[in-house]
Amino acid sequence: MKSYKGRGIVLHTLKYGDSSMVVFLLTDVGGRRSYMVQGVRSSRGRGSKLALFQPMFALEFEGLESSRQQMDRFREVHSGIVLRTLPFDVRKSTVALFMAEVLYRLVKESEPNEPLFEFVWNGVAALDELQEGVANFHLWFLARLSRFLGFFPGNDYREGDCFDIREGLYTKTARRNVLIMSEQNARTLHELMHLEVNRLGTLALNRTQRVEFLNAMLDYYGYHLDAISAVQSVRILREVF
């Protein structure tokens, strides 16, 4: 079997048999790919590999292409980013769960997408390092991800604008029977599209404003991508933040 080296972000896992699992990754070498991992729950040898395959964990690996099966395998796999806080901070791990589910539901392409992959890879590192503004990170992620999915705002924001979800444009006029983000949410969208991730602590949003903006972004995503409605971790986000 042909081997190749790559990097990947864990999006989802499925139990397979008694000791194996299928791991879905967003990879730099081939977009979304699935891998069969055998003996993952075995206590023999080097022990369980489960710790590697948590939502949004970054991996470096050597893969083996399979000509007979749709799923590749790993010859070697190890951590690609040393995570110091994400696995131990319930707020960050909740955000990671949401990010992983969004990407799993929305990204289906099995072709390399370097800009998207680098955004996600760097996002994991940024979330792990973030000290202030964790409560805003999932909102920043959704706003910035829209750019890579092809439906980010198509014009410049001006103070007092609303945002027309269907047209993808900031607008002064809130027409009837049109999906519109409020002035507050349009301003937040603009700020998140331009705010560096390490300055998320400067974005002053209370709990109600975060929930309202999240709902507005889910409407925005839902207009373009129906699959966002299947994301179940939204409920946990609303409880934590």
Query: What is the C-alpha to C-alpha distance for residues 87 and 124, in angstroms, rounded to an integer?
Result: 11
**How does the average pLDDT of the chain come out, rounded?**
92
Query: What is the C-alpha to C-alpha distance for residues 220 and 151, in angstroms, rounded to an integer?
Result: 9
What is this structure's pTM?
0.93
Q: What is the pLDDT of residues 41-57, one digit of tens each?
A: 655 545 467 889 999 99
Q: What is the DSSP string of 210-235?
A: HHHHHHHHHHHHHHH-GGGGG--THH
Q: What is the pLDDT of residues 183-196, one digit of tens each?
A: 999 999 999 999 99
Q: Are 138 and 56 a contacting pair, CB within 8 Å?
A: no
Query: What is the C-alpha to C-alpha distance for residues 237 and 102, in angstroms, rounded to an integer?
Result: 13
Kindly report which listed range (38-47, 101-110, 146-155, 220-229) carries the lowest average pLDDT score. 38-47
